[in-house]
Amino acid sequence: MGAKKAAKKYIKKKYNDLGLGEKDTSGGYRTLNKDGSFNVRKTNVPFLERINFFHSLVSMPWPRFLGLILLGYFVINIVFASIYMFIGVEHLTGIKEGTSFEQFMEAFFFSAQTITTLGYGRVAPMGLLANIVAATESMLGLLAFALATGMLYGRFSKPSATLKYSTHAVIAPYQDINGFMFRVVNVQDNQLVEVEVAVSLSVRREASELRDFFRLELERSKVVFLPSVWTIVHPISDTSPLYKQTIDGMIAKDAEFIITIKAFDESFSQTVYSRTSYKASEIKWGEKFVYLVTQERDRISVDLGRLDETYKATLNT
């Protein structure tokens, strides 16, 4: 009997620990942010080992990416305009007479024409030194724009599951028992097939700094298509780690439900992943999701504006 218990404990640790570690030293934390990113900060990592330009450029938000490209474009042109001013604008033909600022702006726009290999022809380098600078800038421009084009393609071609989750999960009546439920929907028109979901529960042990991880059994862990809303249900039977739990007890245990979804995206012909989590404080007890699907003439309509809408429901005892 003792050997069986030990084997069971070993299996739980081997398969249900999500690589997040069992020791809880923070007194309560969120492992997985709502957007699917890990709430982990790594310290004392050498600077050169932290650098990952490709990941940063393809993962950062679009406004930040475009702002960085624009900032880099202006900085490079300012640097080369300063070099042209340093070697003397007399080495650039076609520069109009004027103040130092006006000549700097002439050099700036000549730099912009050179780095993009546009070259209107009114201003041109004259002499060996100016031609070396212009040739260097044009080569740098070719490389920089090739890199920017690659980053743009990488961002557009990066597959991602644009799934939207309900803000809250619920504990609601389910058949003759209760269930832990949340909803997910694909907000875009791309088709996801062979959609699989896994739900794990992380709780802090009583009077301990260690955490336990449980893989929750689901009513349905896989669907072939996801054209509508999917309500994912974990039945709270007498074998569930949620059996006879209360909201206060789950908060005291710093419970976190970790959701991972895998699907095949037909648009990219690649497998995509999505993640999120729910803390115990983000669960509504004794509430049920409203039904979103209606029929309009010859098609089905799904009101995503009511994705988080719930109503009171009496739990089974």
Q: What is the pLDDT of residues 20-78, one digit of tens each?
A: 655 554 456 677 787 777 777 777 778 777 777 887 888 888 899 999 999 999 999 99
Average pLDDT in the chain: 85
Q: What is the pLDDT of residue 7?
A: 38
Model confidence at 171, pLDDT cuts 50, 70, 90, reads very high
pLDDT of residue 200: 93
List phi, psi (to 5°) of 67.
Answer: -65, -40
Percent of the chain with pLDDT over 90: 51
Q: Which of 166, 168, 169, 176 is nearest to 315 (CA)?
A: 176
Can you give the pLDDT at residue 39? 76
| Domain 160-312 bears CATH identifier 2.60.40.1400 | yes
pLDDT of 310 over the 90 cut? yes
53-157 folds as Helix Hairpins (1.10.287)
pLDDT surpasses 60 at 194: yes
- Tell me the longest C-alpha to C-alpha distance in the chain: 96
What is the pLDDT, as a whole number, of residue 280? 93
For the chain, the domains span 53-157, 160-312
pLDDT at residue number 5: 45
Instruction: Determine the pLDDT at residue 137.
Output: 92
pLDDT score of 221 more than 50: yes
With residue 151 as reference, give the H or E element that holds it: helix 128-157
pTM (two decimals): 0.73
Q: What is the pLDDT of residue 256?
A: 93
Q: Is the pLDDT score of 98 beyond 80?
A: yes
Residue among 69, 81, 84 nearest 112 (CA): 81
Q: Residue 58: left if φ>0, alpha if ψ -120 to 50, beta else—which one?
A: alpha
pLDDT band (50, 70, 90) for residue 87: very high
Percent of the chain with pLDDT over 70: 91
Sign of CA dihedral 268, 18, 278, 257: positive
Residues contacting residue 67 through CB under 8 Å, at least 6 positions apart: none
pLDDT surpasses 50 at 308: yes
